[in-house]
Amino acid sequence: MNRTYPPGATIGVMGGGQLGRMFAIAARRMGYRVVVFTPEENTPAGQLADLTRIADYTNEAAVRRFAADVDLVTFEFENIPVHTVTWCAEERDVRPAGSVLHIAQNRLREKNFMNSAGIPVAPFLRVRNARELESAIAEIGCPAILKTAAFGYDGKGQRTINAGDDLGEIVNAASADELVLERAIEFDKEVSVIVARSANGDIAAFPLCENIHRDHILDLTVAPARVDERVERMAADLARSIASKLNLVGLLAVEMFLTTDGNLLVNELAPRPHNSGHWTIEGCATSQFEQHVRAVCGMPLGVTEILRPAAMANLLGDLWSEHEPNWAAALQTSGVHLHLYGKEDPRPRRKMGHVTALAATCAEAIERVTAARDALRAGRK
């Protein structure tokens, strides 16, 4: 059913993190009400929602009450139990659908889906024990990456395997029963496309962006990606194809490797707004968050035209290790925008916010955003 939900409707959001927070800002600006369901108090999203329902995702009665009180349901992260989404779907439209969530929250299902859909991915095999790991290594070769099939992000649950490593010890140390072994890919860049698809099948892709990681966590995103037009077209076509094959209604982030021979391999999917799309808030005619609102509510998709080259830098809890960051010094940098997520505990590696810089060129945007983040470490005078 292609039902539309105009401004004035109430959107239910599963999850209380920063993606839900920025979604709520966009939705409320457009005239929607937002109700957040989360097990935690004082969440980033809850601080800006009209209402927060606090209960565990396994509490069926609470989930059904939440769904009954809203007009439609979406989610801001993947690791929500599938049965929780099923309860919501029995009460209201859920966009993207639970079937999309089911695929995206497990690496093995995700890669099998892409394989069957003809989407290029790195060679991979399922692994459950040392014998299967030994067999997989013999087929895929070294170096390779062993990953947990579920609940992995920002490098968690991943280990590089090299020739001569003790495979039995590696499997015993793994934190999950189901693992995925992938061939380590020689790549030139990591890139991603954010794509939206409406209930009537309209699709709009944002410009390809380039992602630079540090210690497995996204450190810097640059848009547009510094690649030739052929690569940009290939990436957009892949993202559109995946969105169509998933029958997506909502937003999808497609992370890819640009290999050294100029081809693209899809690495991961995220059916929601994504860290690598934060630059769109200032850098595009429509932000990824507004686009997600439009898509799930059945409204026309927004224009994805880039306004100026942009660079986004994550702010991790490590910045708070010695003192409160010097906000004034960072904001003295021309063209810089600050986004903080309202988190109270600045733990190391925890994403606390981001800064975005716009400029005439990508190089200048990178210089500005890097200078702004470096200024935060100077301490207050």
Return the domain boundaries, the chain: 10-94, 123-183, 187-376
Tell me if the domain spanning 123-183 has CATH number 3.90.1150.10: no
DSSP 172-198: HH-S-SSEEEEEPP-EEEEEEEEEEE-
Instruction: State residue 322's pLDDT score.
Output: 83
Do residues 230 and 237 make contact, with C-beta atoms less than 8 angstroms apart?
no
- Binning pLDDT at 50, 70 and 90, where does residue 152 land? low
The whole-number pLDDT of residue 158 equals: 80
pLDDT value at residue 157: 67
Mean pLDDT of 275-290: 98
Q: Would you say residue 380 has pLDDT above 60?
A: no
Q: Cis bond leading into 224, ω under 30°?
A: yes
Contacts 24+ apart (CB under 8 A), 31-36: 31/7, 32/5, 32/7, 32/8, 32/293, 32/297, 33/8, 33/9, 34/10, 35/10, 35/11, 35/66, 35/69, 35/70, 36/12
SS3 295: helix
Average pLDDT of the residues in 327-345: 95
CB atoms under 10 Å from CB of 88, counted, come to 26
- Say whether 320 sits in a helix, a strand or coil: helix
> Looking at per-residue confidence, does 292 or 134 come out higher?
292
- Tell me what pLDDT residue 66 has: 98
Q: Which residue has the higher pLDDT, 151 or 232?
A: 232
Band the pLDDT of 153: cuts 50, 70, 90: low
Closest CA to 297 of 123, 93, 120: 93
Q: Is residue 191 over pLDDT 70?
A: yes
Mean confidence (pLDDT) of the chain: 94
Q: How far apart are CA 310 and CA 280, in angstroms?
A: 8
pLDDT of residue 381: 47
Q: Is the pLDDT of residue 155 over 60?
A: no
Angle at 225 between CA 219 and CA 227, to 5 degrees: 130
Q: Is the pLDDT of residue 294 over 70?
A: yes
**Mean pLDDT across the stretch 129-148?**
89
**Rounded to whole angstroms, how far apart are CA atoms 339 and 114?**
34
State the fold for domain 187-376.
D-amino Acid Aminotransferase; Chain A, domain 1 (3.30.470)
In which element (H, E) is residue 355 found?
Answer: strand 351-358
Report the alpha-carbon angle 278-232-20, nearest 5.
Answer: 20
pLDDT surpassing 90 at residue 350: yes
Q: pLDDT value at position 216? A: 87
- Tell me phi and psi for residue 196, to 5 degrees: -120, 145
Q: How far apart are CA 240 and CA 244, in angstroms?
A: 6
CA distance 70 to 381: 48
Please tell me the predicted confidence (pLDDT) of residue 162: 85
**How far is Cα 49 from Cα 123, in angstroms, rounded to an integer?**
42
Give the per-residue pLDDT at 170: 76
- In the chain, the percentage of residues whose pLDDT exceeds 70 is 96
State the pLDDT at residue 279: 98
pLDDT, one tens digit per residue, over 229-260 is 999 999 999 999 999 999 999 999 999 999 99
C-alpha distance from residue 204 to each of 6, 30, 103, 291, 321 (Å): 20, 19, 22, 9, 41
Q: pLDDT: is 138 or 168 the higher one?
A: 138
Q: What is the DSSP string of 101-164?
A: HHHHTBHHHHHHHHHHTT-----EEEE-SHHHHHHHHHHH-SSEEEEESBS--TTTTEEEE-TT
Domains 10-94 and 123-183 alike in fold: no
48-101 pLDDT, tens digit each? 999 999 999 999 999 999 999 999 999 999 889 989 999 999 999 999 999 999
- Please tell me which residue, 309 or 161, carries the higher pLDDT value: 309
User: Is pLDDT above 90 for 156?
Assistant: no
Distance (Å, whole) CA 250 – CA 74: 9
Contact indicator for 188, 260 with CB cutoff of 8 Å: yes
pLDDT of residue 1: 58
| Per-residue pLDDT, 177 | 74
User: Is the domain 10-94 a CATH 1.20.1440.230 member?
Assistant: no
Strand ranges inside 184-280, DSSP E: 187-197, 203-205, 209-214, 217-223, 250-259, 264-270
168 has pLDDT over 80: no
Candidates 11, 9, 4, 3; CA nearest to 289 is 11
349 falls in which pLDDT band (50, 70, 90)? very high
**pLDDT greater at residue 321 or residue 120:** 120
Who's near 288: CB < 8 A, 6+ residues apart? 194, 206, 251, 273, 274, 277, 278, 280, 281
